[in-house]
Amino acid sequence: MEESSELPLDAKSEFVDFQWKLGLAASCDGCRSLKYRYVAVLAVMLKVADHSGQVKTKSFEMTVPQFQNFDRQFKEIAAVIETM
């Protein structure tokens, strides 16, 4: 699943599907505190189809603030698209 970071300008993938999993990860920042700190992490498995129709899965993670940003932007997209 090697991808070049230099895509031709019109290379677009079509969104197919995405699956998600919400979990907790333990993190310890230099172990400043004796208590464990937990971070909510959203794991996403995004399915996209490239111009040849081949479906690939991209896996990545988001923190909750990143997800909220993503969510807000998507709602904006939806609002605009509905007006067209």
Q: Map the footprint of another protein across residues 28-47, applying CB under 8 A.
A: 28, 40-44
Q: What is the rounded CA–CA span in Å between residue 28 and residue 26?
A: 7
Long-range CB pairs of 4-10 (<8 Å, 24+ gap) are: none
Nearest approach, Cβ of residue 50 and another protein (Å): 10
Q: What is the rounded CA–CA span in Å between residue 22 and residue 12?
A: 28
Interface with another protein by CB under 8 A: which residues? 3, 5, 7, 11-15, 18, 20, 22-28, 40-44, 48, 58-62, 64, 66-67, 69-71, 73-75, 77-78, 80-82, 84
